[in-house]
Structure 1
Amino acid sequence: MKIAVVVGNPKPASRTLRVAESVTDAIEKLLPGEPTERQVIDLADYSSRLFEWPEPTLAELNDAVAASDLLVVASPTYKATYTGLLKAFLDRYPSNGLGGVVAVPVMTGAAADHAMATEVNLRPLLVELGATVPSRGLYLVMTRIAELDAITSDWARANAATLVPALTGRLGVTR
């Protein structure tokens, strides 16, 4: 299973990246024995090139994401939605450019006030790009970062009934 993790936090090696990796770990545990290959794209490392056209490195990253089986997309909440950094990366895809990819939206924030941003803003963007988003996304209030692994494990178990069939169907595996 090819996994792409895309993080749109302007700060490199952010807590949002940590959350995205924990979500990915929890999803991998739902499919024991399934070999995985993970590529982590921390967009903060590419921010100076996002608006260059053409940009070969970003084109390669876009191709790798589009070829993945699972895409975990994470962003901190900025003004009740995802960051411009993430939007600039995803704008490089044409309509249906993520067709066939199973995606999981993840957002972090300072308070629960914007918890619906994951479902109201990030999910529709992924669907517009053709991704299948079979489960609820995860919104993590950063004051709970110490509980991260328990929260992502609980989230994965709660969403396993929709995630596992979507992923195993993509991989051609029957369970």
Structure 2
Amino acid sequence: MPESPATPGTVAVVVGNPKPASRTLDAATHVARELAGREPDLVVDLATLGPGVLDWADPETGRLVDLVGKAGLVVVASPTYKGTYTGLLKLFLDRFAGGTGLTGVAVPLLLGASPAHALAPELTLRPVLTEIGATVPGRALYVLDKQYDDPAAYADWLAATRPIVSSLLKQELR
């Protein structure tokens, strides 16, 4: 994915799956593309950052935090682990404390094996994104792992959420 300086119109994806190039990454990229009508400008696959995500002085991780923080739209995704998002994603999101929060629209997305955890993104990821400054429109999104590549699994959520996101992004660009 091309990396450009973050602007209000920037679309970013952040994925907290410990496995690089995961189904979670595919799902998040799909959601970003559907909401923005184009490919994301920035894709942060946290599994590829290695120990830098643990080092608060790591310049590359710091640069990515800055770019994500300034993005107009960020899809934040993780597999569901123990009814919540991964520790890897938590490590990255912790970087947004202390005035370096998210400034745009954020979409929480979790993938999981069972419908039993369908409320997990709403109850665990959404509040964190809101706390660090993001505007979180509509409901958080939960997709079953086995349906991650099925556009129908996203259709109802996209129909309800896309107009809200589009409206917020248009206001941001004014």
TM-score by length of 1: 0.88
Report the CA distance shift for 1:153/1:95 in structure 2 as closer, same or farther (over 3 A). farther
Q: In percent, how many aligned pairs have the same letter?
A: 45
Shift of residue 95 of structure 1?
4.4
Which range moves more in the overlay, 160-169 or 66-75?
A: 160-169
Q: Deviations over 1:62-107 (max 9, x none)?
A: 0000111001000000000000000000111124533431100000
**Residue of structure 2 equivalent to 1:162:** 164
Pair 1:61-2:64 in alignment: yes
Report the CA distance shift for 1:96/1:112 in structure 2 as closer, same or farther (over 3 A). farther
**Residue of structure 1 equivalent to 2:25:** 17
Alignment partners' CA distance in 1, 2:22 and 2:80: 13
SS of match in other structure, 2:57: coil
Task: Flag as ranges the 4+ runs of structure 1 deviating above 3 A.
Answer: none
Are the aligned partners of 2:84 and 2:120 in contact in 1 as well (CA < 8 Å)? Answer: yes
* 1:69-84 aligned within 5 A: 69-84=72-87
Are the aligned partners of 2:52 and 2:58 in contact in 1 as well (CA < 8 Å)? Answer: yes
Alignment partners' CA distance in 2, 1:145 and 1:99: 26
Shift of residue 57 of structure 1?
0.3
SS of match in other structure, 2:95: coil
**Residue of structure 1 equivalent to 2:36:** 28
Are the aligned partners of 1:96 and 1:131 in contact in 2 as well (CA < 8 Å)? Answer: no
Any unmatched runs of 5+ in structure 1? 30-34
**Residue of structure 1 equivalent to 2:121:** 118
**Residue of structure 1 equivalent to 2:112:** 109
Report the CA distance shift for 1:37/1:141 in structure 2 as closer, same or farther (over 3 A). closer
Alignment partners' CA distance in 1, 2:61 and 2:113: 30
Opposite residue 122 of structure 2, the aligned amino acid is E
**Residue of structure 2 equivalent to 1:5:** 13
Are the aligned partners of 1:20 and 1:72 in contact in 2 as well (CA < 8 Å)? Answer: yes
**Residue of structure 2 equivalent to 1:46:** 49
Measured on the aligned residues, the alpha-carbon RMSD in Å equals 1.6
Report the CA distance shift for 1:111/1:37 in structure 2 as closer, same or farther (over 3 A). closer
Pair 1:137-2:140 in alignment: yes
SS of match in other structure, 1:50: helix
**How many residues get paired?**
166
Opposite residue 14 of structure 2, the aligned amino acid is V
Shift of residue 145 of structure 1?
2.8
Alignment partners' CA distance in 2, 1:99 and 1:145: 26
